[in-house]
Chains A and B, each alone.
Chain A
Amino acid sequence: MIAPRLAILGTLVVAAVTLTVSAALADGLNEYLEEADKAVYSGRQVVGTTWGGVQEMGIVDVRHFGGMAMVGSGPAYTMIGQGKVNALDSPDSALAYVPIARAPVNHAYDIAGGELSTRFGMTTKTIDIVENGVVRMRMVIDTATGATLETEVFDADGNRFRFSNMVDFSPSAAGMEDYVDDGEYRVMLPLDEAGVPDGAGRYRLIDAYPAPAEAEHGFYTDGLFRFSLFAFDGRHDVSNIENGHAWAVDGFEYVTVIKPAAVWVLWNAPDQTFALVGDLPPDHLEEVVADLPRPGQRNWFVRAWRRMFG
């Protein structure tokens, strides 16, 4: 008796949405990004964000090795990388995200530039990441290690929105090679179904996870910038948040908190509270909030998002 013959139907699309992927250019951008992740180096990095007359800056020690970064100041550090975060002085904080593998995403970014120059006596290459002819991000890369020495993010008018700068640099990991990860991680697996919107502006929802206070955490990217959206049921008062600034868009009021490396946007929609954090520039932020429930709006906006397979 012959056992039933099985065959596999078609190709499985893992991502919930298909995007226009510019194949050759997608490789270029991702190549640079992945090279940067593999680089071995250490040093001190200054980071700053300027928005609406407010500037926030910070300085951190960074050690980078094995796809992980050890970031901190003084003797206490946080380990970041490969879906994990572990603040070494508070072991309960260790989280590990295990997203499902998928093809790289690229909204529409091109790579330009490539001029050589020097930093710290090392040969560096300057790369522009361009969208519709406008430079959105510039990176200065050490050709020897692949490390990113400088970055700049520009708003739609070409003003510098964020920058980072290695003020000390060494092409070695300063002892990080000895680090053994014995953290007890809380593993975060993607939710099977998400209650957060599957897109906003050019950004697509990649996956969603549980978050504190029964919120949902959606992770979005356009291939270069990325943000997280935390959606809470009910009304949480965000108006008195420390260092909050009012931000008005299209007559709607949001609260923003500007950090050296990221921006928070918080607001109350009817029956929901949103907290968004990311590295995207202000014009992208405007597009994103336009596609999310507006502050004070009555219409309910929850789209169920399911992974489709086959």
Chain B
Amino acid sequence: MADELTPSWEDVAQRYGRKIYNFAYRLTGNPDDAADLVQEVLLRVRKGLSGYRPGSFEGWLWRITRNAFLDGVRRKTRRPETTLPEGDHHALGSSPSPDEVLASVRLSDDVQAALLKLPYAFREAVVLCDVVGLTYDEIADATDIPVGTVRSRIHRGRKMLRGLLTWPV
């Protein structure tokens, strides 16, 4: 089924699986949700590949990913979105450890927790830009909003994060 222009779904899984997983993980803070999303996206990719016409493959993929994510969000029973990632729940506000590795783990947990406090539209824009690494045009294509709004949402998301995270003087 795969030809030069259309990748097979195994190629897609191998090449993009990790990115999709990270996208979902950063949006939800939850490894189970992230795994579910990867499976759902790969399933939709497999079904969609036969109808896929060569063009912007990544654009197509990220549209699918985003729609699958939103469908998953709607499918779950109502619960607050502020889920802290599993793992070490250390006390926030405690003094930094001299160990660099531990400090960077704490850093990423705090950023993740702050991310989860953003409104969905901002969080999605920031994750697509800074985690997935899409350009503003690619984000606009995947989310069906104008580039100007993308830029505004990314900026406001970052500004909000800045307000949520304190930095030592």
Q: Do the two chains touch directly in the complex (Cβ atoms below 8 Å apart)?
A: yes
CB pair B120 A189 closer than 8 Å = yes
* B-contacting residues, A252-273, CB 8 Å: none
A213 interface hit (Cβ, 8 Å) = no
Q: Which of A287-306 contact B (CB under 8 A)?
A: none
Inter-chain contact A96/B70, CB cutoff 8 Å: yes
Is the Cβ of A2 less than 8 Å from the Cβ of B119? no
How many A residues are at the interface, by size bracket? 20 to 34
| Of B35-43, B53-61, B97-105, B126-134, the one with at least 4 CB within 8 A of chain A | B97-105
Evaluate contact between A2 and B164: CB separation under 8 angstroms. no
- Contact assessment for B163 and A98 in the assembled complex, using a CB-CB cutoff below 8 Å: no
| Residue pair B78, A101 in contact (C-beta under 8 Å) | yes
Most chain B CB neighbours (cut-off 10 Å) among A8, A34, A190, A307: A8
Determine the chain A residues whose CB is within 8 A of the CB of B119 once the complex forms: 100, 190, 192, 307
The answer on a CB contact under 8 Å between B156 and A12 is no
What is the chain B residue whose CB lies nearest that of A3? B103
Do the beta carbons of B78 and A8 come within 8 Å of each other? no
Q: What mask results when residues 109 to 147 of chain B are scored 1 for a CB within 8 Å of chain A, else 0?
A: 011011001111100000000000000000000000000
- A84 at interface by CB-CB < 8 Å: yes
**Residues of chain A from 1 to 53 with CB closer than 8 A to chain B in the complex:** 1-9, 12, 14, 34
Least CB distance from A112 to B in Å reads 26
Residue B14 is within 8 A (CB to CB) of chain A in the complex: no
Is residue B50 within 8 Å, beta carbon to beta carbon, of the partner chain?
A: no
Whether the Cβ atoms of A5 and B168 lie closer than 8 Å is yes
Q: Could you mark each residue 169-202 of chain A with 1 if its beta carbon is under 8 Å from any beta carbon of chain B, else 0?
A: 0000000000000000101011010000000000
A122 CA to B82 CA, complexed, in Å:
40
Q: Can you name 29 A-B pairs with beta carbons within 8 Å?
A: A2-B96, A2-B98, A2-B100, A3-B104, A4-B107, A4-B167, A5-B95, A5-B106, A5-B107, A6-B110, A7-B166, A8-B164, A9-B164, A9-B165, A12-B117, A14-B117, A34-B78, A98-B74, A98-B120, A100-B81, A100-B119, A101-B78, A101-B80, A101-B81, A103-B80, A192-B121, A307-B119, A309-B160, A309-B163
| A100 and B96 form a contact (CB under 8 A) | no
Shortest distance from the beta carbon of A13 to any chain B beta carbon, whole Å = 10
CB atoms of A7 and B74 under 8 A apart? no
Q: Are B121 and A189 in contact (CB under 8 A)?
A: yes
CB of A309 to closest CB in B, whole Å: 6
Q: How far is the CA of A96 from the CA of B70 in the complex (A)?
A: 9
Whether, in the assembled complex, A75 has its beta carbon less than 8 Å from a beta carbon of chain B, the answer is: no
8 smallest beta-carbon distances between A and B, as pairs = A5-B96, A6-B110, A12-B117, A101-B81, A3-B103, A6-B165, A7-B93, A310-B163
A257 CB, nearest partner CB in chain B, Å: 30
CB pair B81 A67 closer than 8 Å: no
Q: Are B73 and A98 in contact (CB under 8 A)?
A: yes
Closest CB-CB distance, A277 to chain B, in whole Å? 22
Interface-centre pick from A4, A5, A103, A189 (highest chain B CB count, 10 A):
A5
A97 to B166, CA, bound (A): 33
Q: Which residue of B lies closest to A97 (CB)?
A: B74
Docked Cα-Cα span, A136 to B92, in Å, equals 45
A9 smallest CB distance to B (angstroms): 6
Q: Give CA–CA (A67, B77) in the complex, Å.
A: 8
Please tell me which one of the listed residues A3, A6, A67, A84 contacts residue B100 in the complex, with CB atoms under 8 A apart: A3
Instruction: Assess whether B15 is interfacial by the CB under 8 Å rule.
Output: no
How far, in whole Å, are A4 and B103 apart by their CA atoms in the complex? 8
B79 at the binding interface (Cβ < 8 Å):
yes
B67 touches A7 (CB 8 A): no
